[in-house]
Structure 1
Amino acid sequence: MQTYCCSVILVKEKQHLRNCFSTHPEYLKDAETGEEQINYWDMGPELTRPARSLKLWMTLQALGTNAVGEAIEHGVQLAEWAEDEIKNYNHWEIVSPAQLAIVNFRYALTGLSDQELDSLNKRISQEMVENGYASVLTTQLNGKTVLRICAIHPDTTEDEMRNTIQLLSNIGRSIE
């Protein structure tokens, strides 16, 4: 028999949750919202450090090491497919190659300043998020604004990953 654990935290004032759990790392800057919208990671322990070993232990107990290993391998493969597809387009620069499930890259037209390229990449990310196909957010690496794919969804296919890069390229060309 399998058992599952789920925690619920009830408070009178939502600000108490924000005070305990809110975090604002560079890789989530694009996902931040105003006070009128709720970022659920500000309300619970999902992005905080405590109890990560417990989460890993529970995951290993529930899924087993083979399933966890396959999920990690799938994420690595997704990032490698994304990097491979990026290489098919002229105006893209791979800033850090696929590692684990992450690849960082940017649309890098020649003749534009670093500030213009940063702005262009932010706009590409915004358009992609508004499109709703994928959440490709930005982060800062080596002083540059870059697009970041963290591909861990277990149902994502090679075609979907390659299509994501094609859509990003189309968006980039449309707003050059």
Structure 2
Amino acid sequence: MAIWDFVKDAGKSIFGSEAQAAEAPKTAPAAAPAAAAQDSDTDRKVAALKKELADLGLTAKDVHLTLRGGDTVIIKGQARDQETLEKLIVALGNIKGIAHVELAEAPVAAGGAAAKPPVFHTVKKGETLSQIAAQYLGKAGRYPEIFEANKPMLTDPDKIYPGQTLRIPQG
């Protein structure tokens, strides 16, 4: 099991506002206990997370998501490869309102060996991909490698923001 922390108040807003959630039709009856209403909200958020991953083309039938405590996403199952797993973690963690992403099982690399731990970087105010590339890859000119490693979440190398977590390619 592994857990990664993210900036909860940074990222793409996919859950809507509290007011929008209150106006949405409820699957639980009005007189239902608070736990049923909370379950309904959790189901709505998990559906939004799954839709976001589908929109990014990061779906996998063997990967299942659950939400704990409203801000922790738990990934169960196996992604098709290490790169996809790392992209799932970053895509989920860069959603506003998500503070933690947890793997239910330790990731396994091809051949059954333990996978290498991913390297992530949280963007600080004023940083550029070139600066991040210089720090991790040794040369600022290698920034396209970080950009490519974060597609489809990144669509422009100049559009990163403080609090965003980026996947750093290894090897």
The verdict on a shared fold, with TM-score over 0.5 as the criterion, is no
Greater percentage in helix: 1
Report the TM-score when normalising by structure 2: 0.32
Which structure has the higher relative contact order (CA within 8 Å, separation 6+)? Answer: 2
